[in-house]
Amino acid sequence: MSQEQFTAEIQQGYTFKGASIILGGAMLNGQSLPGLQVKVPLKTLNRHGLIAGATGTGKTKSIQLFSEQLARNGISVLMMDIKGDFSGIAAPGSLNPKIEERAAAIGINWTPQASPVELMSISKQDGVRLRATVSEFGPVLISKILDLNDTQQGVISMVFKFSDDEQLPLLNLDDLKKVLQFLTNEGKETFEKEYGSISPSTVGTIMRKVIEMEQQGAGTFFDEPSFDVNDLLRKDENGMGYVNIVRLTDIQDKPKLFSTFMLSLLAEVYQKFPERGDMDQPELIIFMDEAHLIFDNASKALLEQLEAIIKLIRSKGVGIFFCTQNPTDIPPIILSQLGLKIQHALRAFTAKDRQNIKLVAQNYPETTYYKVDDLITQLGIGEAFVSALNEKGIPTPLVHTMMSPPQSRMDILSDTEMQTLIRQSKLYNKYNHEMDSESAYEILSEKIEQSAKEEAAIQQQKEAEKEAARQAKTTRTTGRAGKSTVEKMLDNTMTRQVARTAAREVTRGLLGVLKGMFK
């Protein structure tokens, strides 16, 4: 095929009626073709996507480029920053010869520009705190996160029903544990009368799984005040969407916490966002960096929940983009639903790597211009294969693309810059304060304490009654009540006096007899 045919095909495939964003410039035979730009229509971004590639191939910068262009079009972004690479999007970039050369090759005007940014956190890192209560999760979601069987799920449902009936707010994991303890001890009899019996072994299993999740840091996530997902849709004074960066560098070894947060967030977004139907552009795009952390330790139930949400959430004006090293990290049933694919270079160090690359190549539209399974290992830094959906939902031609350089800083913010950004946030004061609402833990602790006092009083009364009964029995046996210590002392004194008097009289009698004998 000739270059003219290639140019005509790319121009036709990547020309759209509605608004779009520029990803970069088309390449053929290793050379960029100036003016032949690769675009993505905003209309189809709620069909989700994939950004993949080996470490060091430019994947992070592609996410940064994508995010800043979305923000410029008034679309909000939620970015999961596992490695701490994305904060630089809050500062303008710096022009240098490499950027000038790349911009000229693509045919774009490059100017430094920052995006409005919120730094957020679900752990102990500083930032706008993202929290949710146990009650908001509900029994179904909690059960899926804890990977409970049907019997255990039934117990959790009864626990939530009991808590609702008794007006016991379940705000954090301490509340949930306290209710479980109460129902197997002090409140067991009352609970069984109303709701049925529960096995202590089942409760013990649930308790262990709650503690396991707590040890991964979920205790800091479950609490008040709850984060309102509508705050993700904020715009700045210029109408730009905010790039909300969730700082997750300290939870790489805590996949349970990460998957818990992501599932709760998606469920909350789906529940609270209204139906949007077919929109000209989405309202929110979510980037899940290091997406394998979600799937590696996910249970079957959790994967099914994610699959269902991903299918349905597009109608809410939300697009989800999975970012990972290899597309095979994503379950096939989810991978098949991703409309936009940006594939950076993969490395083939082993026979298994080469087999995986052949499988990856089969995920893309067929093309006569590239031998995909060979070229995918030879892509330069900042180059990628791109395939999108056009405005009719039809896949665009696969094209080797030189990605545009981000207009924001291609480095991270300093600690001082991050602290300044955090302190200037309006959301920081809204969510970063402690609430000490009375919840199930305090209510049940008070009940247990009161019950213990009542039990102690009853026991004391029983002991008093036993003592009274013993005294009464003694009275019946001796005819009078037992003598006091003073009475016993007086009795002993009188006994000694009587004994001395008797002895004296006996002595006197003997002396009188002896006197009569010697007269």
Which one of 220, 255, 281 terminates a domain? 220
Q: Summarize the confidence of residues 78-101 as an average pLDDT.
A: 93
Q: What is the pLDDT of residue 436?
A: 63
Structural domain contains residue 98: yes
Q: Summarize the confidence of residues 209-226 as an average pLDDT.
A: 86
Structural domain contains residue 496: no
Which one of 412, 431, 450 terminates a domain? 431
Strand pairing partners for 287?
79, 321
Structural domain contains residue 250: yes
Structural domain contains residue 372: yes
Question: What number of CA atoms fall less than 13 Å from residue 132's CA on the CB side?
Answer: 21
Q: Summarize the confidence of residues 225-253 as an average pLDDT.
A: 91
pLDDT in tens, 336-350: 889 999 999 998 888
263: CATH? 3.40.50.300
Q: Are residues 113 and 35 in the same domain?
A: yes
Q: What is the pLDDT of residue 118?
A: 96
Structural domain contains residue 376: yes
Query: Which ranges of 216-350 does DSSP label H, i.e. alpha helix?
Result: 255-272, 292-295, 300-313, 332-335
Name the packing angle between helices 300-313 and 134-146 (round to 10°).
130
Structural domain contains residue 449: no
pLDDT in tens, 308-324: 888 899 999 999 999 99
Query: Which ranges of 196-299 does DSSP label H, i.e. alpha helix?
Result: 200-215, 255-272, 292-295
pLDDT in tens, 141-185: 888 888 889 999 999 999 999 899 888 889 989 999 989 988 888
Please give the order of strands across the beta sheet that includes 383-387.
31-41, 20-28, 399-403, 383-387, 340-343, 49-52, 318-324, 284-289, 76-81, 243-247, 117-121, 128-129
Q: What is the pLDDT of residue 497?
A: 53
Residue with more model confidence, 480 or 259: 259
Q: Are residues 260 and 374 in the same domain?
A: yes
Q: Summarize the confidence of residues 401-408 as an average pLDDT.
A: 96
What secondary structure, in 3-state letters, does 386-438 show?
Answer: EECECCCCCECCCEEEEECCCCECCCCCCHHHHHHHHHCCHHHHHHCCCCCCC
Domain that holds residue 207: 134-220
Residues in Cβ contact with 339 at an 8 Å cutoff, skipping those fewer than 6 apart:
44, 47, 48, 49, 388, 389, 393, 395
Torsion of CA 381, 383, 384, 386, to 10 degrees: 160
Question: Which pTM was predicted?
Answer: 0.81
Residue with more model confidence, 185 or 231: 231
Q: Are residues 14 and 38 in the same domain?
A: yes
Q: Are residues 115 and 145 in the same domain?
A: no
Structural domain contains residue 502: no
Q: Are residues 143 and 20 in the same domain?
A: no
Q: Considering its fold, how many domains does the chain have in total?
A: 2
Q: With bands split at pLDDT 50, 70 and 90, how would you rate the model's confidence at 502?
A: very low
Q: Are residues 90 and 51 in the same domain?
A: yes
Q: With bands split at pLDDT 50, 70 and 90, how would you rate the model's confidence at 188?
A: confident
Q: Are residues 296 and 351 in the same domain?
A: yes
Poorest-pLDDT segment among 269-273, 294-298, 332-336? 294-298
Q: Are residues 398 and 294 in the same domain?
A: yes
Q: For 39, phi and psi rounded to 5 degrees?
A: -120, 165
Question: What number of CA atoms fall less than 13 Å from residue 194's CA on the CB side?
Answer: 13
Which one of 402, 431, 460 terminates a domain? 431
Poorest-pLDDT segment among 14-28, 132-146, 495-509? 495-509
Q: Is the pLDDT of residue 62 over 80?
A: yes
Q: What is the pLDDT of residue 506?
A: 42
> How much is the mean pLDDT over the chain?
85
Q: Summarize the confidence of residues 393-419 as an average pLDDT.
A: 95
Q: Are residues 292 and 156 in the same domain?
A: no
Q: What is the pLDDT of residue 479?
A: 54
Q: Is the pLDDT of residue 82 over 70?
A: yes
pLDDT in tens, 448-471: 666 666 666 777 787 777 877 778
Q: Are residues 125 and 33 in the same domain?
A: yes
Q: Are residues 171 and 101 in the same domain?
A: no
Q: Are residues 237 and 264 in the same domain?
A: yes
Q: With bands split at pLDDT 50, 70 and 90, how would you rate the model's confidence at 326?
A: confident
C-alpha distances out from residue 468 to 454, 476, 488, Å:
21, 13, 21
Structural domain contains residue 225: no
